Amino acid sequence: MQRTLETERLLLRPLALSDAEDVFEYAGDPMVSQYMPYQPHPNVEATKEWLSQIKPEDGEFAFVLKTTGKVIGAGSARINEDGRCVIGYNFNRLYWGMGYATEAAKGLISWAYNHLGARDFSACHATENTASGNVLRKCGFTLEHYGRYSKFDGSKSYDAVYVSMHLDKLPY
């Protein structure tokens, strides 16, 4: 299965162990992991451990800035138990507010549409994480229901907005 794709400014490709320094730069930042299910990585060794256990079926992608080759974020697109494709993403804080998340999320959706045959998509964001809500709305998601989600370790939970989208053809 093809595991790379290009958007205007980004290359989406599988994460590699050699990405550890770039990934740790954002995964170790508490502001980035604030609304993510993981706790900030305490050191680059923790990042290497995470990278080494990623499986192809996890649908994890590095978001690489084409101009510099730097991994500025990562995200995933995978088919959930309910048969829908769930997407998620996070970015290095230095690169926020430049449209990269919207571009990368549209890339993930296109990849899942073309290579996983996904037509139904879902996602969620903490209610107060309006930036992520904007990204999802710009990708075409609409409100499905309100709910809550928790961090993997249960240390924190959030009011959340659950969104979904059905695509008969790719709009971008």
Ligand X SMILES: CC(C)(COP(=O)(O)OP(=O)(O)OC[C@H]1O[C@@H](n2cnc3c(N)ncnc32)[C@H](O)[C@@H]1OP(=O)(O)O)[C@@H](O)C(=O)NCCC(=O)NCCS
Closest residue to ligand X using C-beta atoms:
101
Give whichever of 110 and 132 is closer to ligand X, judged by the CB atom: 132
Q: What gap in Å lies between CA 52 and CA 19, rounded to an integer?
A: 11
Q: Which stretch binds ligand X (CB under 6 A): 28-36, 59-67, 78-86, 161-169?
A: 28-36
- What is the signed CA dihedral for 102, 107, 108, 110, rounded to 10 degrees? 120
Of 132, 158, 161, 165, the residue at the interface with ligand X (CB under 6 A) is 132
71 bridge partner residues: 64
Tell the smallest beta-carbon distance from residue 1 to ligand X (Å).
25
Q: Which range of residues in 51-59, 96-104, 148-156, 161-169 is near ligand X by CB under 6 A? A: 96-104
Q: Which residue has the tokens 């309100």?
A: 146
Query: How far is the C-alpha of 9 from the C-alpha of 15, rounded, in Å?
Result: 18
The reply on whether position 111 binds ligand X by CB under 6 A is no
Q: Is 130 in the site for ligand X (CB under 6 A)?
A: yes
Q: H-type helices in 28-167, by residue range? A: 30-33, 44-52, 100-111, 130-139
Give residues in contact with ligand X (CB under 6 A).
Answer: 32, 35-36, 89-91, 96-102, 125, 129-132, 134-135
